[in-house]
Amino acid sequence: MRWSVLAVAVAGAFALAPAPVHANGRAPLTNGVAFRPGDDQSIYLATTFGLLISHDDGCTFRWVCEQNIGYGGQWDPKYAVATDGTIFATTFEGLRISRDGGCSFTTATAELAGSDPNRIADIWIDALDVGPNGDVWVGTAETGHTNDIFVSHDNGQTFSPRNMMSTEVWWKSVKVAPSSAQRVYITGYKVATTPTAYFYSSNDGGTQWTPSPLANVMYASTPVLLVKAVDRTNPDILFMTSLGANPPSGDRLYRSTDGGTTWTEVLATSETIHDVVIHGQNVTIATQIQSTQALMGGTAYESSNGGVDFTQMTNAPQLACVGARPDGSLLGCGANWDPDFKAVARSIDNGATWTKVWRFVEIAGAVQCPAGTIEHDTCDVTLWDCPTCMTDLKRQFGAKGPACGATPDVAGDTTTKKPGGCCDASPSAPIGAMWLGVLVLALVLRRRS
């Protein structure tokens, strides 16, 4: 995993070494956020160099490296977190699961024989969601394999197929309605012969599926649809993106109020739509600029009428991700934005203003785990703090630890709340939209052949 970073001069702020930095071929970026249900302190940040975890509302973030999670290259896993703190991550080799706070990961169903129809190990998992009742849903997307939608009723211990078996379709997204565990939406596309997009809904937990005619939906030459969000109280209201359907590199966003039977286009962007977040009657969108030269946060959009229409957010930073917490606040992530070089910011007024939560220079270190785990032996000792290596992340980030004085996280801690709250989160002016002077290398999404 590697990125190259140009020398930058930042007075008194983010210290990043001018020498080549190790992390996945891209500049350091937080590009996804997940929360633990029922826990108002835990934050899980997807990054271009692994996973960051905080159990004290963003004061102390600790790092889980790619090697521990079980992936490499320029792949961005999708993450989900269960009520008990179990972490799920999608990879090309199956669904990876941690039940000890990120110290160790195992591959779901790896113990089953290769011919077992309930086995999802050693296969590309590209769709993931956890329902309101704790059911874990995944979809497979492997060339030359019989793909299906699978569900687990025991927190990822076992999985069973949901009758969407196909040797031609890659399943790309799955979303469960927050207000109804039986309402499930899935999308996929056929990669052989004539490329075709698919959308299905189920009202009975995947026993029966109803296709959508997808009338008036526009596609790119590769017709990929992704279900992005379902309303928290009305399972019939949902949003879906059509990737690359707004040339040259933008997406189209569609809204349905009848469970996916009909669709209305509500937004066309020049960037890739990454997150669609519904919070009350407000809908917030974060985009990413993904090209052969760059990966960065893009334009943010907002709606105050439930997503009927959208306007560009004038005071937002370059959000590469956005998430809504149960208290209604928004958490946004990206690079280190001006003027005080935030990597994570919070808004409590629906995006009108943003305050700093955390910066890369404040990384506390790797998740603290016992010797003998990959997290300890590889992530912590070798990749994070290796004085003789001179290529460890601690020195290349110039990491100084938390700015708010919280106590360090302990190994496997998924329940204890730490004091401190957010770091230095006083009101500030709108965050500038310019990146630091970094060279962002090409994003290449691997596909297995």
Percent of the chain with pLDDT over 90: 71
Is residue 210 very low, low, confident or very high in pLDDT (cuts 50, 70, 90)? very high
Least confident residue range of 74-78, 205-209, 254-258, 434-438: 434-438
pLDDT at 24: 54
| pLDDT at position 53 over 90 | yes
Q: State how far the Cα of 88 lies from the Cα of 130, in Å rounded to an integer.
A: 9
**Is the predicted pLDDT of residue 101 greater than 60, yes or no?**
yes
Question: Pairing state of beta strands 62-64 and 365-366?
Answer: parallel
pLDDT at 425 over 80: no
Per-residue pLDDT at 424 exceeds 90: no
- Distance CA(373)–CA(375), nearest Å, equals 5
Q: How confident is the model at residue 304 (pLDDT cuts 50, 70, 90)?
A: very high
Q: What is the DSSP string of 240-269?
A: EEEEEEETTTEEEEEEESSTTSS-EEEEE-
What is the structure's pLDDT at 291? 59
Return mean pLDDT, the chain: 85
* Residues 136 and 156 sit within 8 Å (Cβ to Cβ): yes
Of residues 360 and 404, more confidence is placed in 360
pLDDT at 74 over 60: yes
Confidence of residue 338 (pLDDT cuts 50, 70, 90): low
Report phi then psi at 266, rounded to 5.
-120, -10
pLDDT at 420: 40
How far apart are the C-alpha atoms of 418 and 42, rounded to whole Å? 10
Predicted TM-score of the model (pTM):
0.86
Distance CA 376, CA 62 (A): 12
How much is the average pLDDT of 83-112? 97
Q: What is the mean pLDDT of residues 4-20?
A: 30
Burial category of 404 from C-beta neighbours within 10 Å (exposed 0-12, middle 13-18, buried 19 and up):
buried
Phi-psi region of 109 (alpha: psi -120 to 50; beta: other; left: phi over 0): left
Give the pLDDT confidence score for residue 341 in this predicted structure: 59
**What is the model's pLDDT at position 191?**
81
pLDDT in tens, 213-259: 999 999 999 999 999 999 999 999 999 999 999 999 899 999 999 99
Nearest-5° angle of CA 140, CA 27, CA 448? 25
Statement: residue 180 has pLDDT above 50: yes
Mean pLDDT, rounded, for 260-277: 97
Could you tell me where the beta strands, DSSP code E, fall in 78-133? 79-81, 87-91, 94-98, 106-107, 125-130
86 token code pair: 């179990």
Where does the pLDDT of residue 123 fall: very low under 50, low under 70, confident under 90, or very high at 90 and above?
very high
The rounded Cα 57 to chain-centroid distance in angstroms is: 18
Return d(Cα 308, Cα 267) in angstroms, integer. 9
Distances (CA, A) of 221 to 167, 212, 218, 370: 20, 20, 10, 49
Where helices occur in 322-398 by DSSP H, the ranges are: 374, 393-397
Whole-number pLDDT of residue 385: 93
**Which whole-number Å values give the CA distances from 118 to 76, 156, 159, 162, in the listed order?**
25, 12, 6, 10
Which residues, 6 or more positions from 440, have their beta carbon under 8 angstroms from its beta carbon? 3, 26, 27, 293, 294, 295, 296
Sorting pLDDT into bands at 50, 70 and 90, what band is 12?
very low
Other Cβ atoms closer than 10 A to 290: 18
Q: What is the per-residue pLDDT for 388? A: 84
Read off φ and ψ for residue 350, nearest 5 degrees: 60, 30
pLDDT of residue 418: 40
Which of 10-14, 154-158, 248-252 bottoms out in mean pLDDT, i.e. has the lowest? 10-14
Predicted confidence band at 414 (pLDDT cuts at 50, 70, 90)? very low
**What's the pLDDT score for residue 56?**
95
Greatest mean pLDDT range, 17-21, 293-297, 354-358: 354-358
Query: Are 408 and 45 contacting, i.e. CB atoms less than 8 angstroms apart?
Result: no
- 355, 346 Cβ separation under 8 angstroms: yes
| Helix or strand holding residue 225 (H, E) | strand 225-230
Q: How far is the C-alpha of 140 from the C-alpha of 32, rounded, in Å?
A: 21
Count Cβ atoms below 10 Å from residue 274 Cβ, excluding itself.
Answer: 23
| φ/ψ bin of 24: left (φ > 0), alpha (ψ from -120 to 50), beta (otherwise) | left
The answer on pLDDT for 445 being more than 50 is no
Q: Average pLDDT, stretch 301-313?
A: 97
Report the pLDDT value the prediction gives residue 28, as an integer from 0 to 100. 83
Reported as half-sphere exposure (CB side, CA atoms, 13 A), residue 4 has a value of: 5
Mean pLDDT of 76-103: 97
Q: In the chain, count of helices (H) and strands (E)?
A: 3, 30
Cβ atoms of 134 and 155 within 8 Å: the answer is: yes
**pLDDT category, 337, cuts 50, 70, 90?**
low
Give the model's pLDDT for residue 409: 46
CA distance 250 to 270: 4
Bond preceding residue 132 cis, omega within 30 of 0: no
Reading the block at residue 388, the tokens are 């003789």
Asked if 420 and 61 count as a contact pair (C-beta separation under 8 A), the reply is no
Task: Identify the band that residue 339 occupies on the pLDDT scale cut at 50, 70 and 90.
Answer: low
**pLDDT score for 430:** 32
pLDDT of 15 > 70? The answer is no
Residue 428, pLDDT above cutoff 50 = no
Whether residue 362 has pLDDT greater than 60: yes
Bond from prior residue into 370 cis (ω within 30 degrees of 0): no
For residues 75-81, average pLDDT: 95
Q: Is the pLDDT of residue 6 over 90?
A: no
